[in-house]
Amino acid sequence: MYRVNTLALAIACAFSASVSAQSANKESLEEVNVTVSPLSKPADAVAAPVSVLNGDALRKSAAATLGQTLNSQLGVANASFGGGVGLPVIRGQSANRVKVLSDNLDSADASNTSSDHAASIEPLLAESIEILRGPATLRYGSGAIGGVVNVLDGRIPSEVPEQFEGAVEMRHDTANSQDAGVFRLQGGAGNLAWYLDGVYRENGDTQIPGLAIREHGEHEEHADEAAHEEEFNTDGYVGNTSARAKSGSAGLSWVTDSGFVGLSVNRLENNYGIPLGTHEHHEEEEHEEELALEEEHEEHGEEAVRIDLAQTRYDLKGEHDFGDDYWDKLSFRLGHTDYEHVELEHGEPGTRFTNQTWESRVEVTHDNGGQWRGAYGLQLSSKDFAAIGDEAFIRPSVTDSIGAFTMKEREWDDWHLDLGARLENVTVDPEYGQEKDFNLVGLSGALQYFLAEHQHLSLGLTSAERAPVAEELFADGAHLAESRYIIGSEDLDTENSINLELGYHHHNREASGWHAAKVEANVFYNRIADYIYAANSGQEDAESEFPIYAYSNRDATFYGAEASVQFPLSDSLSLTLFGDSVRASFDDAIAGQSSEVPRLPPLRYGFALGGDYDSWNWQWRTSHALAQTKPGAFEEATDAYTRMDLSAQYNLTLAGNDAVLFANARNLLDEEIRNATSLLRDFAPEAGRSVEAGIRFHF
């Protein structure tokens, strides 16, 4: 009954909902082609559900982590791990099923290895973020079986600016006393274009309403354990969540009438803390006497675990326009990353993770003049991953993949057809042990019927496969930062996802009044055979005292709905209603085990009221998330909450240059928000009431 009612409520929300209310400014009305489609199509015309966050909307949402930045987007939740980590969850899928890209190439960090590993993406430097909800394996491979987040930053210019341009931004956030500064410069002359950017941010501990660690009834039965737990608890803030990060990029391109070729280099350094209390049992006996002798903050510093992350990334990108009646454009990408992070225990280096990657992509598009348009592509990648140290829980391994794909589309009358296929081979070769080899096939078809020029129905069917990754195959050991003992399985089978999607879209950018209403609604059903997940066994490892999580295959079904509708109440005022829901359960019944897939986001819905006037605009957004009462085996439920946010910005001119003053008030009700998607929901709630304010200059 719960499943039926939840889905019915989500579908009802589908015809009265939206991600966020956007002001009706000129920037938001511009039609932008999305790069997640190789065929240069606007998001409104893509059959798959695509969201684009850019312009003022991106600047308002931009935060220290990618998950926090995208948390208000339709069908997207945040898997937080304290203030330093926030990974996107798309329709209940995350980690190795959601591909995070930097300009269409893998971010190539270690964020899919463990929930405490941050993505090597700096949202404050993003120009645009594209979110593709649902399988995107045809173009991006096995790791995109649940969706794609593509962050575009403009590091490699594709054209020469007419004049020198730049922007500088400074902001302060009371949620964690964060100070951040960003700059972006670009220019060029003749055929040469260049680009520079940089960001620096630093913050203290996250401020919250109440206690960081949620108390449970069992603590009353174990007074000694409860007393020790209090040593690690904090009131009004989450201990050890300070962070410091800096990033810089430089790019250079040679641009001609028929295309461009360019390269860029980026350096990212990020040092952040793992919230207190997540690993106290591991350190309990060793530091009990020391903790009793020190002040509270010194205690926390003594047992604190921090992540010291660094990545250098090199990218080469080019495009060539054939100027031919049939062949359209050739594009290529080559990327190399040198990634590492060290888990600092008591200030000393502990386990060290490294990831050396190469990835290349070549695509060619064609158009035979009104019949079939299409693209052919080849993708190669190699990942050399290692964990070194006393608590290295993953075997070093090299993962190689090669994939070839084709995508075709055709229009006739009021119909539009999209077809695609991909063949891929993935090999995972551990330092010791047997190599694993997987052959994957992906197929996709989507049919759109245009009820009018700006209104269509779509029906899509996708079959996608995912190979198990190194940590799922070879993990065996305690991971201090996560407080889990993780066991992989070399016998894992590939996942196979059959995803059925029905959608409705209406958006007339040139209309006025009620005809300009923007409506998006999607209902999806996704059956995943041999779904790979780390099951909480309910048992503890004797040595580390961490709960044991073991990877296994189990058939699962995901289904849900998401929708939005934005009404223009007047020329300067708009109302947006939104809602999304996902439910998932395992298909089989196993005695003593839950049939619920763990850590799913709950149903949420709400509204946003936005105004846009001569020099300023504002938005009031309120959302309500239901309690997650089906968290999965041995997982904790989360309470319902209502979140209210208010943002405003004022445009002005200073010394002949454009400037913007902005302020964002978040969680105005000071609610205790614990994300159902987070492993740390019992230890690290989201920030309480806060205000972020800043100024942005354009010149």
Sign of the torsion angle spanned by Cα atoms 574, 45, 130, 472: positive
* pLDDT at residue 31, rounded to an integer: 60
Q: In this predicted model, what pLDDT tens digit does every residue of 489-546 receive, in sequence order?
A: 999 999 999 999 999 999 887 777 777 889 999 999 999 999 999 988 888 988 888 8
Distance CA 454, CA 70 (A): 26
Residues in the chain: 699
Q: pLDDT tens-digit profile of 343-380?
A: 888 788 888 999 999 999 999 999 877 688 999 999 99
Between these two residues, 17 and 650, which has the higher pLDDT value?
650
pLDDT confidence of residue 271: 95
Give the confidence band of 2 by pLDDT, cuts at 50, 70, 90.
very low
pLDDT tens for each residue of 273-304: 998 766 554 444 444 433 433 344 444 444 57
Percent of the chain topping pLDDT 70: 89
State how far the Cα of 131 lies from the Cα of 76, in Å rounded to an integer: 9
Of residues 31 and 503, more confidence is placed in 503
Count Cβ atoms within 10 A of the Cβ of residue 48 and give its class: 0-12 exposed, 13-18 middle, 19 or more buried. buried
Confidence (pLDDT) at 330: 96
Q: Tell me: the pLDDT tens digits for 430-457?
A: 998 899 999 999 999 999 999 988 899 9
Six token digits for residue 235: 């009131």
Instruction: Provide the pLDDT for residue 19.
Output: 32
Domain boundaries, the chain: 2-698
Q: Which is it for strands 147-152 and 128-133: parallel, antiparallel or unpaired?
A: antiparallel
Q: Would you identify the CATH topology of the domain 2-698?
A: Maltoporin; Chain A (2.40.170)
pLDDT digits over 567-593, tens only? 999 888 999 999 999 999 999 877 667
3-state DSSP assignment of residue 249: strand
Report the alpha-carbon distance of residue 351 to residue 428 in Å, rounded.
22
Task: Answer yes or no: is pLDDT of 216 > 70.
Answer: no
In this structure, of 23-27, 368-372, 422-426, 637-641, the range with the lowest mean pLDDT score is 23-27
Q: How confident is the model at residue 639 (pLDDT cuts 50, 70, 90)?
A: very high
pLDDT score for 9:
37
Strand 165-173 and strand 690-698: the pairing is: antiparallel
- The reply to whether the predicted model has a pTM over 0.95 is no
pLDDT one-digit tens code per residue, 69-100:
999 999 999 998 888 889 999 999 988 999 99
Contacts of 692 (CB under 8 A, 6+ apart): 171, 172, 173, 174, 175, 178, 663, 664, 665, 666
Residue 562 — pLDDT band, cuts 50, 70, 90? very high
Beta bridge partners of 553: 532
pLDDT at 222 over 80: no
Kindly tell me if the per-residue pLDDT of 226 is higher than 70: no
Q: Report the pLDDT value the prediction gives residue 282, as an integer from 0 to 100.
A: 44
CA distances to 92, 227, 377 from 636, in Å:
17, 21, 44
- What is the pLDDT, as a whole number, of residue 516? 85
On the question of pLDDT at 227 being above 50, the answer is: no
CA dihedral of 519, 579, 129, 323, whole degrees rounded to 10: -30
Q: Does the structure show a pLDDT above 60 at 258? A: yes
Q: How far apart, in Å, are the Cα atoms of 114 and each of 143, 346, 612, 647?
A: 15, 21, 42, 33
Of 669, 661, 647, 645, the closest CA to residue 697 belongs to: 661
Share of the chain above pLDDT 90, in %: 64
Give yes or no for residue 224 having a pLDDT over 80.
Answer: no
623 is written with which tokens?
């959302």
pLDDT given at position 231: 52
Angle at 517 between CA 511 and CA 520, to 5 degrees: 125
Per-residue pLDDT at 665 exceeds 60: yes
- pLDDT beyond 80 at 220: no
